[in-house]
A and B are shown apart, each in its own frame.
Chain A
Amino acid sequence: MNINLRLYIKINLCFTLILVLSGCITKIESIKTDTIRVLEEGTGYLFITINSNASFRKFAISGEKHIVLKKPDFYNDVNYYLVPVPAGRYHIKQLGISYGGEFNFDEDDDENLWGFEVKPDIISYVGELRIRQQKYRYASFELINNSSLALEYLEEKYPKILAKRTIEYHGPGADSFFDYILNAPKVKIVKLNEEDVR
Chain B
Amino acid sequence: MKNLKIALFLIFIMFFLMAFGSQSSPISADDLFRWPDTYSYKLNPSSKYLAKHYFRGENYNVIEIQDIKTKKIADAFRIKVKKFARINDYYWIDEDTLYIDYRIGENSNKRIFLDIDYNVFKNSDNEIAKSVEIKSKALIIDPLIYQDNKVLVQKTKSNKVTVYTTTPDKLSKNIFSKKDRFQHPLDSAIGYSTGENGEIQFSVKLDDDKLQFWYLKNYDSEWIKLFEFDGTDDFAFEPVAVLNDHTLAVITNRETDKKALIEYDFVKKEFGKTIYLHEKYDLHSAAISETTGELSLIRYYDHGRLITEYFSLSNKQVDAMIREKFPNKQYYVYSKHAGSTIMVIYVFSSDDPGNYYWLDAKISDFVNLGSSRSYLDKYTFSSTETFTVKSSNNVEIEAILTRPKNANGVLLVSPHGGPIGVRHVDSFDRSNQFFASRGYSILNVNFRGSSGYGKKFLSSGVGQFGKIIEEDISLVVNKVKEKYHFDSMCSMGASYGGYSALILAIYHPDEYKCAVGAYGVYDLPLLFNTSNLQMSKDNIASITKTVGEYNDSLKEFSPFYLSDKINTPILLIAGKDDSVSGFEQSNRMKYRLQQLGKEVETLFYAETGHGHYSLYWEKHQHLITEEFIRRTLQQDLPKNIDRKVFGKEAMIIADGYEFENIVKSDSKKAFNFYKIAADFGDPRGLYNLGSYYHRGEEVDKDMMKAVELYKKSSEKNYMDASFRLGNLYHDDDLGKPIYEQSYHYYVLAKEQGHKKVDLKLMNAICLGRGVDMKLYDCLESLDKQLKTKIITPSNSNGTNEFRDILIVMNTIKDLLFESELSSNKLSRVIELLNMHRFINVPIKSQLKLDDYGTWLHYRTDSNKYRNVDSDTKLNVSYYHKLGIVFEIKNSAATDSDAAIYKVTWHHPPFKKNEKDLSIAKEEYLDWVYFNREVYVLYDFYNKKETRIDGLWKVELHNLNGELLVSKEFDVKFED
Candidate in B525, B533, B535, B536 with the most chain A CB atoms within 10 angstroms: B533
A184: interface (CB < 8 Å):
yes
Which residues of chain B are near A114, meaning CB under 8 Å?
A: 532
Which residues of chain B are near A111, meaning CB under 8 Å?
A: 532, 535-537
A3: interface (CB < 8 Å):
no
B596: interface (CB < 8 Å):
yes
Which residues of chain B are near A185, meaning CB under 8 Å?
A: 596
Q: Which of B528, B583, B592 is the one whose CB lies under 8 Å from A146?
A: B583
Which residues of chain B are near A174, meaning CB under 8 Å?
A: 525, 529
Residue of A nearest to B537 (CB): A111
Check if B561 sits within 8 Å of A144, measured CB to CB.
no
Check if B596 sits within 8 Å of A152, measured CB to CB.
no
A75: interface (CB < 8 Å):
no
B57: interface (CB < 8 Å):
no
Which residues of chain A are near B529, meaning CB under 8 Å?
A: 145, 172-175
Check if A127 sits within 8 Å of B596, measured CB to CB.
no
Which residues of chain B are near A151, meaning CB under 8 Å?
A: 591
Q: In whole angstroms, how far apart are the Cα atoms of A142 and B583 in the complex?
A: 14
A147: interface (CB < 8 Å):
yes
B786: interface (CB < 8 Å):
no
Q: In whole angstroms, how far apart are the Cα atoms of A172 and B582 in the complex?
A: 15
- Rounded to whole Å, the gap between the CB of B859 and the closest CB of chain A is 23
Within 8 A of B (CB), among A145-163: 145-149, 151-152
Mask of A160-198 contacts with B, CB within 8 angstroms, 1/0: 000000000001111111001100111110000000000
Check if A177 sits within 8 Å of B523, measured CB to CB.
yes
Q: In whole angstroms, how far apart are the Cα atoms of A146 and B532 in the complex?
A: 12
Check if A144 sits within 8 Å of B530, measured CB to CB.
yes
Check if B595 sits within 8 Å of A186, measured CB to CB.
yes
Known contacts: A148-B587, A149-B584, A175-B525. The answer to whether A142 contacts B592 by CB under 8 A is: no
Which residues of chain B are near A181, meaning CB under 8 Å?
A: 588, 591-592, 595
Check if A172 sits within 8 Å of B535, measured CB to CB.
yes
Mask of A8-46 contacts with B, CB within 8 angstroms, 1/0: 000000000000000000000000000000000000000
Check if B597 sits within 8 Å of A186, measured CB to CB.
yes
Q: In whole angstroms, how far apart are the Cα atoms of A173 and B582 in the complex?
A: 15
Residue of B nearest to A173 (CB): B529
Within 8 A of B (CB), among A94-134: 111, 113-114, 127
Which residues of chain B are near A177, meaning CB under 8 Å?
A: 523, 526, 588
B531: interface (CB < 8 Å):
yes
Check if B595 sits within 8 Å of A187, measured CB to CB.
yes
Q: In whole angstroms, how far apart are the Cα atoms of A47 and B525 in the complex?
A: 22
Check if A172 sits within 8 Å of B588, measured CB to CB.
no
- What is the interface size of chain B, counting residues whose CB is below 8 A from a CB of the partner? 24
A143: interface (CB < 8 Å):
yes
Which residues of chain B are near A145, meaning CB under 8 Å?
A: 526, 529-531, 582, 584
Residue of A nearest to B595 (CB): A186
Interface residues of B, dominant DSSP: helix
Check if B536 sits within 8 Å of A144, measured CB to CB.
no
Residue of A nearest to B533 (CB): A142
Check if B532 sits within 8 Å of A172, measured CB to CB.
yes
Residue of B nearest to A150 (CB): B584
- Rounded to whole Å, the gap between the CB of B646 and the closest CB of chain A is 36
Q: In whole angstroms, how far apart are the Cα atoms of A171 and B526 in the complex?
A: 12
Check if B532 sits within 8 Å of A180, measured CB to CB.
no
Q: In whole angstroms, how far apart are the Cα atoms of A142 and B578 in the complex?
A: 13
Q: Which of B532, B587, B588 is the one whose CB lies under 8 Å from A127?
A: B532
Check if A148 sits within 8 Å of B531, measured CB to CB.
no
- Rounded to whole Å, the gap between the CB of B811 and the closest CB of chain A is 44
Known contacts: A127-B532, A175-B526. The answer to whether A184 contacts B587 by CB under 8 A is: no
Mask of B582-615 contacts with A, CB within 8 angstroms, 1/0: 1110011011100111000000000000000000
Check if B526 sits within 8 Å of A186, measured CB to CB.
no
Mask of B516-556 contacts with A, CB within 8 angstroms, 1/0: 00000001011011111101110000000000000000000
Check if A173 sits within 8 Å of B591, measured CB to CB.
no
- Rounded to whole Å, the gap between the CB of B555 and the closest CB of chain A is 8
Q: In whole angstroms, how far apart are the Cα atoms of A66 and B531 in the complex?
A: 24
- Rounded to whole Å, the gap between the CB of B205 and the closest CB of chain A is 27
- Rounded to whole Å, the gap between the CB of B553 and the closest CB of chain A is 14
- Rounded to whole Å, the gap between the CB of A188 and the closest CB of chain B is 8
Which residues of chain A are near B595, meaning CB under 8 Å?
A: 181, 184, 186-188
- Rounded to whole Å, the gap between the CB of A168 and the closest CB of chain B is 13
Check if A143 sits within 8 Å of B531, measured CB to CB.
yes
Check if B535 sits within 8 Å of A144, measured CB to CB.
no
Q: In whole angstroms, how far apart are the Cα atoms of A173 and B587 in the complex?
A: 19
Q: In whole angstroms, how far apart are the Cα atoms of A149 and B587 in the complex?
A: 7
Which residues of chain A are near B537, meaning CB under 8 Å?
A: 111
- Rounded to whole Å, the gap between the CB of B608 and the closest CB of chain A is 15
Within 8 A of B (CB), among A53-100: none
Check if B588 sits within 8 Å of A147, measured CB to CB.
yes
Q: In whole angstroms, how far apart are the Cα atoms of A185 and B563 in the complex?
A: 12
Q: In whole angstroms, how far apart are the Cα atoms of A171 and B532 in the complex?
A: 8
Residue of B nearest to A129 (CB): B532
Residue of A nearest to B590 (CB): A148
Residue of A nearest to B540 (CB): A173
- Rounded to whole Å, the gap between the CB of A123 and the closest CB of chain B is 17
Q: In whole angstroms, how far apart are the Cα atoms of A143 and B583 in the complex?
A: 14
Within 8 A of A (CB), among B500-528: 523, 525-526, 528
Q: In whole angstroms, how far apart are the Cα atoms of A148 and B561 in the complex?
A: 14
Known contacts: A145-B531, A172-B531. The answer to whether A152 contacts B591 by CB under 8 A is: yes
- Rounded to whole Å, the gap between the CB of B541 and the closest CB of chain A is 14
Q: In whole angstroms, how far apart are the Cα atoms of A29 and B261 in the complex?
A: 64
- Rounded to whole Å, the gap between the CB of B482 and the closest CB of chain A is 40
- Rounded to whole Å, the gap between the CB of B610 and the closest CB of chain A is 14
Q: In whole angstroms, how far apart are the Cα atoms of A4 and B907 in the complex?
A: 75
Which residues of chain B are near A188, meaning CB under 8 Å?
A: 595
Q: In whole angstroms, how far apart are the Cα atoms of A91 and B523 in the complex?
A: 27
Check if B588 sits within 8 Å of A148, measured CB to CB.
yes
- Rounded to whole Å, the gap between the CB of B664 and the closest CB of chain A is 14
Q: In whole angstroms, how far apart are the Cα atoms of A122 and B597 in the complex?
A: 28
- Rounded to whole Å, the gap between the CB of B558 and the closest CB of chain A is 10
Q: In whole angstroms, how far apart are the Cα atoms of A188 and B592 in the complex?
A: 12
- Rounded to whole Å, the gap between the CB of B369 and the closest CB of chain A is 42
Check if B584 sits within 8 Å of A148, measured CB to CB.
yes
Within 8 A of A (CB), among B805-847: none
- Rounded to whole Å, the gap between the CB of B195 and the closest CB of chain A is 39
Which residues of chain A are near B528, meaning CB under 8 Å?
A: 173
Check if B532 sits within 8 Å of A113, measured CB to CB.
yes
Q: In whole angstroms, how far apart are the Cα atoms of A114 and B532 in the complex?
A: 7
Check if A144 sits within 8 Å of B584, measured CB to CB.
yes
Check if A142 sits within 8 Å of B532, measured CB to CB.
yes
Q: In whole angstroms, how far apart are the Cα atoms of A114 and B533 in the complex?
A: 9
Q: In whole angstroms, how far apart are the Cα atoms of A142 and B533 in the complex?
A: 6
Known contacts: A144-B582, A177-B588. The answer to whether A186 contacts B531 by CB under 8 A is: no
Q: In whole angstroms, how far apart are the Cα atoms of A111 and B539 in the complex?
A: 13
Check if A113 sits within 8 Å of B588, measured CB to CB.
no
Check if B531 sits within 8 Å of A144, measured CB to CB.
yes
Residue of A nearest to B594 (CB): A186
Q: In whole angstroms, how far apart are the Cα atoms of A18 and B536 in the complex?
A: 37
Residue of A nearest to B555 (CB): A176
Check if B584 sits within 8 Å of A146, measured CB to CB.
yes
Q: In whole angstroms, how far apart are the Cα atoms of A144 and B197 in the complex?
A: 52
Candidate in B535, B536, B537, B596 with the most chain A CB atoms within 10 angstroms: B535
Q: In whole angstroms, how far apart are the Cα atoms of A113 and B537 in the complex?
A: 12
Q: Which A-B residue pairs are the 9 nearest by beta carbons? A: A173-B529, A148-B588, A172-B532, A144-B531, A143-B532, A148-B587, A148-B591, A113-B532, A142-B533
Q: Can you list 11 A-B contacts (CB < 8 A)?
A: A127-B532, A144-B532, A146-B583, A146-B587, A148-B591, A152-B591, A173-B535, A174-B529, A180-B561, A181-B595, A186-B595
Known: A144-B530, A184-B592. 20 other contacts (CB 8 A): A111-B536, A142-B532, A142-B533, A143-B531, A144-B531, A144-B584, A145-B526, A145-B529, A145-B531, A146-B583, A146-B584, A146-B587, A148-B588, A152-B591, A172-B531, A173-B528, A176-B525, A177-B526, A184-B595, A186-B595
Point out residues on B near A: beta carbons under 8 Å.
523, 525-526, 528-533, 535-537, 561, 582-584, 587-588, 590-592, 595-597
